[in-house]
Chains A and B, each alone.
Chain A
C-alpha cells in the first residue's frame, strides 16, 4: 500500500448524488457523504499523480496556495479509513 500516488481503493465507489447535492463514497452496505474539499481531493486520487502534483492541481483549480498540510492530513485519515491505498 503506497500513498505516493494515492488511488481510491477498489472496494469504494465515488459518485455525485443529485438528491443530496453531494459526492458520496459507496461501499458494502454503507455510504459516506463527502464535503466539497474532500470530494475535490478524492477525485484526484486516481493513482496517476503524487501528492505534490495533486496539491499543485488543486491550487491551480481553486486559485489557492498552501494547501499541502490540509491535503496530507486528509489523505492520512483517508488511508486509515482504507478509502485510499
Chain B
C-alpha cells in the first residue's frame, strides 16, 4: 500500500477486556492511569459481542483477548465462542493465573485457537524453576493443561536489564515446559516501563551476549522450538514501523470501549478517540479523526517527509515521539535523524554503567500506584 490509499481492513482486533489483573508487572504496557477505569466502566458482554460482529464484518480476522488478565472476565468463554463462530482466529494472552482445567476445557469447547502464556516475574520464576518451588509448579501445570487441550504452546517473556543475563535459563525453562514458540520480547519503554526505564534498560553488552546465547540455543535446538528475539528499539538507529502503520491493520478496544490504533495511543494530546458505545467500528476505522490523524504523510515533519526511509518506518512511533520529544508529529527519537535523538542516547549511555543505574525503587503496576500517579 502507498501512503495515500484508503486503508485496508483492521485485520487485527485486540480486545482488552479488563485492566483488572492479579499481577503487578513493572513493565506493564497498560496506561499508568488505568485505575481510572473500574470494573463498572467495562463494556458488558453484549457490547463486546457487537464489537466482535462489526469488526469481523469489516474483515478483522485475528482476534486477541487481552487485558489486564482476561481470565478475570467470567464471560470470556462466551466471547471466544462468538469470535470462533464468526471465523476469527482466536488468541488468548494470559499469565495463566486462573486457567484451571475446567476453564481450559470450556475455552477449548468454545473454539479457542491459541494461548500465549507469559512469564510475569521471570526472576522469581527462574529462582523457582531452579529450586522447583511454587510459581514454576503453577506454570508447569498450566503448560500441561495447554498441551493436553492440543493448543500450540507460545511462551512470551519480557526481557529487561534484571533478567537478560539469565537468557539461557529462560530458554531452558521454555523447553522444559514444552513450548513450541518462545518470544523473547525486549521491553519497550512505554507506560510503566518508561517510569522504570533506568532500572529496566539493558546495556549493549548485555544485549549482545543475550543475542549470542540465543543463537547458540537456536543452533542446538533446531526445529524443536522457534525462538524470536526482538532487539529493543533504543539500540537501533532507525525507528520501528510502529503497529505496522497507524490505523493500518491494528485496532485496540480498551476495557471501557475506547477504540485506539495501538494500545498506548490514548496518551497522545489533542486527539479524541472514539468509543464503540457511540460509533460503529466501521465509522471508527474509516472516518474518525483519531484514526485518520497519523495516516498518510500529511502530518509528518520535513525530516520524515523528505526521508528516503519514510515508507519503510512511517516516521516510527507517535507515542514515543510525544513521550521523548514532546511532540507527537516529530520523528521518533530512536531515529538518529531526530533532533531529539540525544534523549535516547542519554538513556542508553546511562544503561552502560555496571550494576544498578539508579537507587530509585521499581514502581510496580497496581491500582494504588496508578491513583498516586494519576489521581
- B11:A28 contact, CB within 8 angstroms: no
A53 within 8 A of B: no
Please tell me which one of the listed residues A18, A19, A26, A82 contacts residue B89 in the complex, with CB atoms under 8 A apart: A26
A43 within 8 A of B: no
A15 to B58, CA, bound (A): 16
CB distance from B322 to the nearest CB of A (A): 27
- B64:A29 contact, CB within 8 angstroms: yes
CB distance from B16 to the nearest CB of A (A): 15
A69 within 8 A of B: no
- B11:A11 contact, CB within 8 angstroms: no
Given contacts A13-B113, A18-B59, A19-B59, contact A29 B9 (CB under 8 A): no
A18 to B86, CA, bound (A): 13
Determine the chain B residues whose CB is within 8 A of the CB of A82 once the complex forms.
Answer: 223
B114 within 8 A of A: yes
- A28:B59 contact, CB within 8 angstroms: no
A28 to B64, CA, bound (A): 10
Interface residues on chain A, size class = 10 to 19
Given contacts A13-B89, A15-B87, A19-B9, contact A29 B62 (CB under 8 A): yes
- A20:B9 contact, CB within 8 angstroms: yes
Q: Per-residue CB proximity of B131-171 to A under 8 Å, as 1/0?
A: 00000000000000000000010100000000000000000
CB distance from B222 to the nearest CB of A (A): 12
Count of CB-CB pairs between chains A and B under 8 Å: 43
Please tell me which one of the listed residues B62, B114, B181, B223 contacts residue A31 in the complex, with CB atoms under 8 A apart: B62
Minimum CB distance partner of A20 in chain B: B59
A30 within 8 A of B: yes
CB distance from B63 to the nearest CB of A (A): 10
A55 within 8 A of B: no
Determine the chain B residues whose CB is within 8 A of the CB of A15 once the complex forms.
Answer: 87
A11 to B115, CA, bound (A): 12
- B114:A28 contact, CB within 8 angstroms: yes
A17 within 8 A of B: yes
Interface residues of A (CB under 8 A from B): 11, 13, 15, 17-20, 24, 26-31, 82
Q: Can you list the 4 inter-chain pairs with the closest CB atoms, starting with the nearest?
A: A19-B59, A26-B89, A28-B114, A19-B9
Interface residues of B (CB under 8 A from A): 8-9, 11, 58-59, 61-62, 64, 87, 89, 91, 113-114, 116, 152, 154, 180-181, 223
16 contacts between A and B (CB under 8 A): A11-B152, A11-B180, A15-B87, A17-B61, A19-B58, A20-B59, A26-B61, A27-B152, A28-B91, A28-B113, A28-B116, A28-B154, A28-B181, A29-B64, A31-B61, A82-B223
